[in-house]
A = this chain, B = another copy of it.
């Protein structure tokens, strides 16, 4: 039995993945992966996902250059969630140009944006 067989993919063949900075522990993003994406991630040690909006394999950084280098992969008790512990090229994981996608914090009854844009997205995603 392969280690891939121990992962419980959902009805759509996907598993949630938490991408976490291996050095700082910051959670950078959350996405889904299919079996091929997980296999490629482990083989190439760069993060691969499945993009549900575009319905295709997604090698993170293929457009932005913000490749995620995998240091470790973790599986949870139920076998249905993964963590990729990574080094983030460029220090930017979010398509908004921020370090992390989790840049909004609940303050009172409002979401406040508390993290700076490090690079303008138009500079990241050139045509």
Q: Which A positions have Cβ atoms within 8 angstroms of B?
A: 2-3, 6, 16, 18, 20, 24-27, 29-30, 42, 72-78, 81, 83, 94-96, 98, 101-106, 109-111
Chain copies in the assembly? 2
A104 with B75: in contact, given A26-B25, A27-B27, A110-B3 (CB under 8 Å)?
yes
In the complex where A76-B29, A77-B96 touch, is A3 in contact with B109 (Cβ < 8 A)?
yes
Known: A25-B24, A27-B18. A76 touches B105 (CB 8 A): no
Chain B residue contacts of A75, Cβ below 8 A:
102, 104-106, 111
28 inter-chain pairs at a CB distance below 8 angstroms, sorted by A residue, are A3-B110, A6-B111, A16-B16, A16-B30, A18-B18, A18-B30, A24-B25, A25-B25, A25-B26, A27-B27, A30-B81, A42-B106, A72-B105, A72-B106, A74-B102, A74-B103, A74-B104, A75-B102, A75-B105, A75-B106, A76-B102, A77-B94, A77-B95, A77-B96, A77-B101, A78-B101, A81-B101, A83-B102
